[in-house]
Amino acid sequence: MKILLTGGLGYIGSHTAVELINSGYDVVIVDDLSNSKIEVLDAINEITGVKPKFYQIDVCDKQELVKVFEENSNIFAVIHFAGFKAVGESVKQPLKYYRNNMDSTFTLLEVMEKFNVNNFIFSSSATVYAVSEVMPIDESFPLGASNPYGRTKLFNENVLIDYQKANPDFNVILLRYFNPIGAHESGLLGEDPNGIPNNLMPYICKVAVGELDHLNIFGNDYKTKDGTGVRDYIHVVDLAVGHVKALDKLVNNKNYGLGIFNLGTGIGYSVLDIVNTFNKVNSNLVKYEFAERRPGDIDKMYASPKKAEEELGFKATRNLEDMCKSSYEYQKNHKEKK
Ligand code: NAD
Ligand code: UDP
């Protein structure tokens, strides 16, 4: 069964491609390489023995996208990962974010409609939830994004919900990811952002390989067990498995309609938990200093993973040690190759 992955050479898309291929799906990838490298295709091939069909195109380019659908008849579903994801950049360049993250969805929906492709899985984010004192967050919690990136996710959700309402034959699953970290156990796939990373695990990894001196922990006076921010970190391979489960659901339910699911573990870890576990499993590599709170950050956020478990049969199985070990292995391996 043929599945189109937009942004399939990115961090989450590439891990999902591997899990889909291993589950017997036929994967086609489109990616414009704006935030990924063509070598990822070889890594997918090396891991699975299969090199997916690949198109280097911008998903917003309707003519090019039509060609992909013409050349690949019988696409069963689209998993839409393509998009920009840096919160800080989205504040500085909101139009860039609204244009790419919205236009890609509009274009896809129009082309899917033309080719009668009726199944869609969307990369949403926990950032769509309004700030809440109550934890864990379940799918019925109030929504309210606080920056342009988050709003593109929220607007996309609304577009897809409206579109599904108007087209009952169309099925859509919105997956709200919590904090994906970790890397493939082969050491061949992972996350290595250009420049100085914004996110915690990529930053820690760069300190561990000596590219950065120390980690700045943003705030140690939050209302949490040790004062540092708490998040729900999920291994990217578990997250990828979550997509396979969502897809299986669509395969087995022709008139599925709309589904909205958190993908998280339900466990909240603090920044200090992450650093200490990283240092424990990778022999003490990361120094840190406490710094000012980062504007916009909240004290804690973790998911209720119940709905995905009950309705999709998805449960994350990899623990924090796995996440810390695999992140570092990839970073080392990748650094040697650069
Ligand atoms: P990523 O940047 O590694 O992957 C996105 C891929 O999409 C990249 O390969 C990029 O080259 C490609 N791309 C971007 N715009 C495109 C376009 N117009 N046409 C074709 N390709 C395009 O990001 P990721 O971490 O793998 O995230 C995947 C999706 O999940 C994104 O939509 C992101 O917003 C969402 N998400 C990510 C996280 C996270 O922490 N990584 C959390 C929640 C949601
Ligand atoms: N964080 C930190 N130092 C960094 C990057 C992040 O202390 O260099 C903290 C951040 O304040 C938050 C947690 O790590 O409490 C996770 O941040 P990240 O940016 O990875 O994810 P998000 O903010 O999207 O949850």
Mutation test residue for ligand 2: of 262, 294, 301, the one with most atoms within 8 Å of CB: 294
Q: How confident is the model at residue 209 (pLDDT cuts 50, 70, 90)?
A: very high
Is pLDDT at 86 greater than 90 in this prediction? yes
Left (φ > 0), alpha (ψ -120 to 50) or beta: where does 59 sit? alpha
pLDDT at 296: 86
Ligand nearest to the CA of 65: 1
pTM of the predicted protein model: 0.98
pLDDT at 191: 94
Average pLDDT over residues 306-328: 98
Among 145, 149, 154, 180, which Cα is nearest to 263's?
Answer: 180
Q: What is the pLDDT of residues 124-151, one digit of tens each?
A: 999 999 999 999 999 999 999 999 999 9
List helix spans (H) across 167-283: 200-208, 236-252, 271-281
Ligand 1, atom 39, residue with closest C-alpha = 180
Binning the chain into helix, strand and coil, the percentages to the nearest 5 are: 40, 20, 40
Q: What is the pLDDT of residues 21-76, one digit of tens each?
A: 999 999 999 999 999 999 999 999 999 999 999 999 999 999 999 999 999 999 99
pLDDT at 336: 65
Ligand 1: centre distance to CA 135 (Å): 27
Left (φ > 0), alpha (ψ -120 to 50) or beta: where does 284 sit? left
Any residues with Cβ below 6 Å from ligand 2, and which? 179, 198-200, 203, 215-218, 229, 231, 271, 294, 297
pLDDT at 338: 60
Q: In whole angstroms, give the CA distance from residue 20 to residue 44.
A: 11
Q: In whole angstroms, give the CA distance from residue 245 to residue 288.
A: 38
Sketch out the chain's domains with CATH numbers.
2-182+232-265 (3.40.50.720)
pLDDT at 234: 98
Is pLDDT at 162 greater than 70 in this prediction? yes
The mean of the pLDDT values for the chain is 96
pLDDT at 249: 98
Q: How confident is the model at residue 323 (pLDDT cuts 50, 70, 90)?
A: very high
Residue 66 CB contacts under 8 Å (≥ 6 apart), including other chains: 111, 114
Mutation test residue for ligand 1: of 35, 89, 151, the one with most atoms within 8 Å of CB: 35
Higher-confidence residue of 85 and 335: namely 85
Q: Residue 117 carries which DSSP code?
A: -
pLDDT at 195: 84
Q: What is the pLDDT of residues 212-263, one digit of tens each?
A: 999 999 999 999 999 999 999 999 999 999 999 999 999 999 999 999 999 9
Choose the weakest-confidence range: 12-21, 240-249, 279-288, 320-329. Answer: 279-288
